[in-house]
Structure 1
Amino acid sequence: MNAEHASAALITRYVRGEDLADDVVWALESHLETCAACRGALAEVDTPGTLSALESVWTRLEPELAQTAPAPRRRAAWLRTWVTPVMLPWLLMALLVIVAAVAMDRMWRGDGGISFVRLCAPVLPVLGVAAAWTRGVDPAYELIAATPKAGLYLVLRRTTAVLAVVFPLLLIAQWLTGSAIAMTLLPGLAFTSGTLALGGIIGMARAAYTLIGLWAAIVVLPTVAFQREASLLGEQWVPLWATVLAVTAVIVVLRRGAFTRLSARRW
Structure 2
Amino acid sequence: MSVHDEPGGRRPVNTWHIPGDLLDRYLAGDLDPVRAMSVDAHLGGCPVCRAAVPYEREWLESSWQRLEDEAGLPRPRPAERLLRLAGLPGHVARLVTVTPALGRAWLTAVLAVLAFGVLAARQTAEALPFFLVAAPVLPLAGIAAAYGPRVDPVHELLAATPLSGPRLLLVRSTAVLTVAFVLAGLASPLLPAPPGLSAAWLLPALAATSGCLALSTRLSVPAAALTAGGLWLAGVAVAAEAGGGWRVPFQPGAQLLYGCAAALLAVLVYRRRDRLDPGETR
The alignment partner of 1:202 has SS state of coil
Q: CA separation of 1:222/1:108 partners in 2, compared to 1, >3 Å: closer, same or farther? A: farther
Distance in 2 (CA, whole Å) between partners of 1:263 and 1:195 is 14
Distance in 1 (CA, whole Å) between partners of 2:253 and 2:224 is 27
Q: CA separation of 1:255/1:72 partners in 2, compared to 1, >3 Å: closer, same or farther? A: closer
- C-alpha deviations, 1:192-232, integer Å up to 9, x for none? 11101101211110011112222223314875999932412
Distance in 1 (CA, whole Å) between partners of 2:182 and 2:205 is 12
Q: Report the CA distance between 1:255 and its aligned residue.
A: 0.8
**Equivalent residues of 1:90, 1:128 under 8 A apart:** yes
Match of 1:124 in 2: 138
**Equivalent residues of 1:129, 1:158 under 8 A apart:** yes
Provide TM-score, normalisation by structure 2: 0.61
Q: CA separation of 1:182/1:236 partners in 2, compared to 1, >3 Å: closer, same or farther? A: farther
Distance in 2 (CA, whole Å) between partners of 1:133 and 1:191 is 17
Residue in structure 2 matching 1:238, options 255, 265, 272: 255
Alignment partner of 1:134 is 2:148: yes
**Equivalent residues of 1:114, 1:230 under 8 A apart:** no
- C-alpha deviations, 1:144-172, integer Å up to 9, x for none? 12211222221221112112211121112
Q: Report the CA distance between 1:182 and its aligned residue.
A: 4.9
Q: Report the CA distance between 1:184 and its aligned residue.
A: 2.2
Match of 1:29 in 2: none
- C-alpha deviations, 1:1-35, integer Å up to 9, x for none? xxxxxxxxxxxxxxxxxxxx96xx9xxxxxxxxxx
Q: CA separation of 1:156/1:86 partners in 2, compared to 1, >3 Å: closer, same or farther? A: closer
Residue in structure 2 matching 1:159, options 173, 181, 184: 173
- C-alpha deviations, 1:70-94, integer Å up to 9, x for none? x972535945521433431112211
Instruction: Please list every run of 5 or more consecutive structure 2 residues that lacks an aligned counterpart in the other structure.
Output: 1-32, 38-44, 47-71, 81-90
Query: Which amino acid counterpart does residue 128 of structure 1 have in structure 2?
Result: G
Deviates more, 1:144-153 or 1:218-227: 218-227
Match of 2:233 in 1: 216
The alignment partner of 2:217 has SS state of helix
Match of 1:42 in 2: none
Distance in 1 (CA, whole Å) between partners of 2:203 and 2:115 is 20
**Equivalent residues of 1:114, 1:228 under 8 A apart:** no
**Aligned residues with identical type, % of pairs:** 36
Distance in 2 (CA, whole Å) between partners of 1:263 and 1:135 is 11
Q: Report the CA distance between 1:99 and its aligned residue.
A: 0.5
Q: Equivalences for 1:20-99 in 2 at 5 Å?
A: 73=74, 75-76=76-77, 78=91, 79-82=93-96, 83-88=98-103, 89-99=105-115
Q: CA separation of 1:182/1:109 partners in 2, compared to 1, >3 Å: closer, same or farther? A: closer
Q: Report the CA distance between 1:114 and its aligned residue.
A: 4.3
Alignment partner of 1:197 is 2:214: yes
Residue in structure 2 matching 1:184, options 167, 192, 201: 201
Deviates more, 1:96-105 or 1:162-171: 162-171
Provide TM-score, normalisation by structure 1: 0.64
Q: CA separation of 1:242/1:218 partners in 2, compared to 1, >3 Å: closer, same or farther? A: closer
Query: Which amino acid counterpart does residue 155 of structure 1 have in structure 2?
Result: L
Q: Structure 1 or 2: larger helix share?
A: 1
Distance in 1 (CA, whole Å) between partners of 2:212 and 2:236 is 18
Residue in structure 2 matching 1:146, options 138, 149, 160: 160
Q: How many residues align?
A: 200
The alignment partner of 1:183 has SS state of coil
Instruction: Please list every run of 5 or more consecutive structure 1 residues that lacks an aligned counterpart in the other structure.
Output: 1-20, 26-47, 50-70
TM superposition outliers: structure 1 runs of 4+ over 6 Å: 224-227
The alignment partner of 1:201 has SS state of coil
Query: Which amino acid counterpart does residue 207 of structure 1 have in structure 2?
Result: A
